[in-house]
Amino acid sequence: MSASSSCSKVFELGKYRVEFQTVEAAEDSGCCSTKSSSSVSLRPPKPLLIGIPCEAGEFPVLLLLHGFLLSNSFYSQLIRQIASHGFIVIAPQLYTIAGSDTSDEIKSAAAITNWLSEGLQTFLPPHVQANLSKLALAGHSRGGKVSFALALGKEGITTSLKFSALIGIDPVDGMDKGKQTPPPVLNYVPHSFDLDDMAVMVIGTGLGEVKRNPRFPPCAPKGVNHENFFDECRKPACYFVAVRGKATYCLCKNGKSREPMRKFVGGVVVAFIKAYLGGDSSELLAIREAGHEAAPIELQTVIWF
C-alpha cells in the first residue's frame, strides 16, 4: 500500500457516527433549568460544544480553542471529522467580545481544563468514557496563542491535568512584531519554548498573511504567525504549511471554499494525536512521506524533528 493511500482516510470522516452536545456555562444555568441540581452544579465555566463518538468506548480528549471573534459552532465540521476517528472534541466559547489582552482567555481555558475531571462525564452518554490521561490541546488563530500560553504556564497559570500534545492552527501573537497582544508568547529565541517534552504541531494556512479586508489585519500577520511559533518549538515537533495564494487554503474564509483546508487540518490533527496520544504514528509518517499527493491541498512546507 502506498503512503498516499494509507493516510488519505484521515482526511475524510472516520468510522464513528458523531453527535453534538451543547452545555451551558455555570453562570448561565438560571432558575428555569430542566437539568438536575447535580448536573447544574457541575456545569463548566464557559459554554461548550462537544463532539462525541456515538459508539461505546473510552476515547482520548481534544480541547479546541476558537479564533478571534469566532463562534465555536464555526468549527462544527472540523469537530465532526476529528471526533469521527474516535476522539471526544470539546470546543468552549471563551468570549463573544474581546479586547487585546488574552489573560482572561488563558484563565478560562485553564478553568475548563480543571473542570474536565469533575464535570465532563456528567454530560457524556453513559456508554462513552473520556480518557483524560490522553489529553490534547489545540487552538486556531488567537486561540492558538492562548493554547501555547496555557501550555507554557503564562501568567503563572497551571492546570490539574497534563496535556500530551499541543496544536497551533495558524497561531497569531498579535498585530505585528513589537505589537504582540498581552501576555506575549513569542520571545524570538529559537527552540526556547519549554513545554516539558510535549509534542507540538504547527499548521500554517495559505492566506494567513493576506488581508481579507483593507480595514482589518491579516488572520496571521508575518512576524507573529505560525512560522515564528514553530521556530521556538523544541522536538518533538512537526510543521505543515499550505501553498500561498490559494483561496481554498485559508481556514479563516467563510463558506464551502474552506473545505479543502478544513479537511487537511482535521486529517493532520487526527494523525498527530493518534501518534502522540495513541502511539500509532503510521498515518502521520505516511502524510510526511506522501506530502500533497495524499492531502486535499498542496503543501509548501513539511518539517518534522
CATH of the domain at 192: 3.40.50.1820
Q: What is the model's pLDDT at position 31? A: 41
Q: pLDDT under 50 in the chain at which residues? A: 29-37, 215
Q: What is the model's pLDDT at position 118? A: 93
Q: How many residues does the chain have?
A: 305
Sheet order of strands, 237-242 included = 18-23, 48-53, 88-92, 57-65, 128-140, 165-169, 199-204, 237-242, 299-304
Q: What is the model's pLDDT at position 152? A: 97
The C-alpha cell that represents 177 in the structure block? 512584531
Q: Give the helix ranges, DSSP H, for 26-125.
A: 37-41, 76-83, 103-119
Number of domains in the chain: 1
| Domain, as residue range, for 176 | 3-304
First-residue to last-residue Cα distance in the chain: 25
Q: What is the model's pLDDT at position 294? A: 77
This prediction has a pTM of: 0.91
